[in-house]
A and B are shown apart, each in its own frame.
Chain A
Amino acid sequence: MKTSFLDNLGKVYGIYTGGFLGFVIILAILEQMGLPDKMIGYAFVFMTIAVYATIGFISRTAQVSEYYVAGRVVPGFYNGMATGADWMSAASFIAMAGGIYAAGYNYLAFVVGWTGGYVLVAVLIAPYLRKFGAYTVPDFLGARYGGNFARFIGIVILFSCSFTYILGQIKGTGEIASRFLDIPFEVAVFVGLAGILVCSMLGGMRAVTWTQVAQYIVLITAYFVPVVILSAQKTGIPIPQLMYGQVLQDIANLEQTKPALAGVKPFMATPKDATEAFNFFALVFCLMIGTASLPHVLMRFFTTPSVKEARKSVGWALLFIFMLYFTAPAYAAFAKLEVYQNVLGSSLATVEAVQAMLDTNSWIVSFGNLGRISICGFTGNKSADVLMTAQAIFAACQAGGITELVHTAFTIQTDVIVIATPEIAGLPYVVAGLVAAGGLAAALSTADGLLLAIANALSHDVYYRMIDPEASTHRRLVVSRILLVVVAVMGATMIAFFELGNILALVSYAFSLAAGGLFPALVMGVWWTRTSKQGAIAGMIAGFGVTLFYILWTHKLGFAQPELWGVKNISAGIFGIPVAFIATYVVSMMTPAPSAEMQAFVRELRIPSGKNMMEEKV
């Protein structure tokens, strides 16, 4: 049965994609026949979660290698798709286009930084970890650096970066479920949690892999549909990624000529001084090195059938990620032009004039009522019955002496850009529901990957390798599942009941922490035979320590000290990474060379043929 599934992957996912599109079309027809918006929201959230749960249930397993590395049978192409879903979180799906809308060229550091790191994954790390046959990243550290101390440091770093990251994902699923099911956030978090657990609990990596493929298809469809239609409407050609060049020109012209835009920072403005330029490159650097160090990404490449397939799979993964990342700037540009052309410069002199502006831009009312858009400092709050009406806006603008909508009087929150595009394009509600399903898929798939990375490190590395190496297969899997639930519930509880605030900023720290802590130990372990156990341990502690220290030193909840040389703390890895390399090198040279056996181990690692080096007792 298993082989026939693998032989027919194209057919299975082809039918799945067709079924999903059919589902969207049926909902579109029902909407025309009068199905209320709320029901459409319910249908999207529950139907997609039900499908993921079904895949998770079918993929249940009682075998250790199926649970940890999906039996190492995942073809490179499908592993690439799963990696795409694993990688692209709610932040990529919802916040990236909005970030570019707000910050313009400088935000493209994220676009470059979150893609280029895959070159490092393919060249420096993934093929060698695959050859070793690791189940987890600390597994490799434990084997290469002889013992549980290196393994333990690896687990501490993995836990710190992955747990901060997963908090953001659980929050993301909660926000989407809360908006589209119209339920309180604290309840919605646990609906999201259920969605996360049904995918991973019974089948571990095997189940997560095949659900992530399904989730990639949903998220990329949802990302493309609104902007493709918008591009067709505005330019006549449904290829937004090519057509927004003209839009960029129109934006630049309006910035020059439109009075309401006087003094606005140009969309395409490049870094204005050396500090800004340095921060751009430092961020690119940290995000790339972080990509190549984050355990939930690296472990996806443990699932391919061969070393060769692992390398190629990295290429597929980046191609699938590229599909979304090269579309995000198009979203930003189309939204920017819409605002510059049709919103800014509108007269606010009379209530009627304000009403006319709201009538042509109904999305301002919808999102203003949710508190996401403000005009002259006024914003709505639907649950408190404060509505975005022409009278209220007029009154606020009068008080501020503003008679024409200038760019300083109009603010929009960045997460609105992707979500509002269906309404800007005048599309039916079903498209908004589709976008919600896409955002949910992005958040769920990333949360599952992270959850598995954390729970596997605890169950495989801590429990099996360090506490009870004699544990039976059955016992190991039971422990894995219990830890999975414990970690997930812990995360959801923290999100639901504590005000953790700026979680998306915490997420970007995860990249620097992983980069400073793990990158040198992983890379030098393969590429420099002389790297000693003591050297690697010193490097991990120093790199992680320096990165963490800089974040705490500059963070307002830490020591709140001024930044060193103007380096923003989201690029803290720029200090930690070099320190880790230097510490690893210096301490390795001061300590005895690795044993002859360890040197042979490294030589074996470098040869792709032959069987996995880590033996698993069955």
Chain B
Amino acid sequence: MSDVSQDKAVAHWAKTKNLMWITLAVWAVFSFLIHFFVDALNSIVIFGFPLGWYMAAQGSLIVFVVLIFWFSSTQNDIDAEFGFDED
């Protein structure tokens, strides 16, 4: 690899790593942190659902699905920015 493309690869990986940490932070919040507060959340009731129950039964799952699609399109943008996107 030439120096220019080497620099490009380093910058690409820095951005990729950054996105990884952001995505995993959101993942950790909805996998663990939010369920610590289940009793407090349960005092809020929406459509009959206590919020603490709802987050474990549906809410976190919806966040995971959206998070993966968001991650995947953001990563595509990073790849395109450095010309590493596939044709």
Contact = CB atoms under 8 A, between A and B. Distances in A.
B49 A245 contact: yes
Q: Output the residue of B23, B31, B38, B75 with the most chain A CB within 10 A.
A: B31
Interface residues of A, number: 49
A284 interface: yes
A315 B32 contact: no
Contacts of B24: 119-120, 123
Contact of B53 (A109, A268, A312): A268
A288 B84 CA distance: 30
Given A112-B31, A123-B20, A270-B38, A315 B69 contact: yes
Interface of A: 105, 108-109, 111-112, 115-116, 118-120, 122-124, 127, 241-242, 244-249, 268, 270, 280-281, 284-285, 288, 306-308, 311-312, 314-315, 318-319, 322, 325-326, 329, 527, 600, 603, 606-609
B20 A270 contact: no
Interface residues of B, number: 46
B2 to A, nearest CB: 13
Contact of A124 (B20, B49, B50, B56): B20
A325 B72 contact: no
A311 to B, nearest CB: 4
Given A245-B49, A270-B39, A116 B60 contact: yes
A118 B79 contact: no
A102 B71 CA distance: 36
A548 to B, nearest CB: 25
Contacts of A603: 1, 9, 13
Contacts of A120: 24, 27
A127 B78 CA distance: 14
Contacts of A127: 75
Contact of B56 (A112, A315, A609): A112
Contacts of A111: 56-57, 61
Given A315-B72, A325-B61, A108 B56 contact: yes
Contact of B65 (A124, A322, A607, A608): A322
B71 A329 contact: no
List 10 tightest A-B contacts by C-beta distance, closest first: A245-B48, A315-B68, A108-B56, A311-B72, A245-B49, A245-B47, A246-B48, A315-B69, A119-B27, A329-B57
Given A108-B56, A270-B52, A116 B64 contact: yes
B64 to A, nearest CB: 5
